[in-house]
Amino acid sequence: MFDPLASLPGYLLRRASSASLAELNRKLAEIGINHVDASLLMLTGANPGLNQSEAGRILGIQRANMVPLVSRNEARGLLRRQKLDGRSQALFLSSTGEDILQTVHKIADRHEAMLIARVPEEMRPYVIPILRGLWME
């Protein structure tokens, strides 16, 4: 059985991404969140007070889809919205959000370490540059 797709970077990218994502979500499920929640928490943790659509722009999530995302993390008590001016609002982590973020970082670090470990050592320095290159926007 010959798999002609196994030598296509685009296809490998997709399969690798979906496998890695599934694995990460299994780990994050232990604290009741998914990878999108995690990315929002990390971004907010690094940039307290950024506004909602900025966050969406950076994360590649549309305004409309940011609403339920922020809402559910606010409802969980992890995130706080604060009116910035009449139309925009800033995002902050709550204190439990800060705590959860520590756990998220632990999980993410473990995940990333597991990922990178699958790459032959001499190629590891190229992983990030290559993925950044492939990520066109």
Enumerate binding residues for its own copies (CB under 8 A): 1-21, 23-24, 35, 39, 42-43, 45-47, 50, 54, 58-60, 108, 111-112, 115-116, 118-120, 123, 126-137
Q: Are 91 and 44 in contact (CB under 8 A)?
A: yes
d(CA 87, CA 17): 36
If one asks whether residue 1 binds DNA (CB under 7 A), the answer comes out as: no
Tokens 């928490």 found at: 41
19 touching DNA, by CB under 7 A = no
Q: Report yes or no: 43 and 58 within 8 Å, Cβ to Cβ.
A: yes
Residue closer to DNA (CB basis): 64 or 117 = 64
Q: Interface with DNA by CB under 7 A: which range of 2-10, 64-72, 103-111, 117-125?
A: 64-72
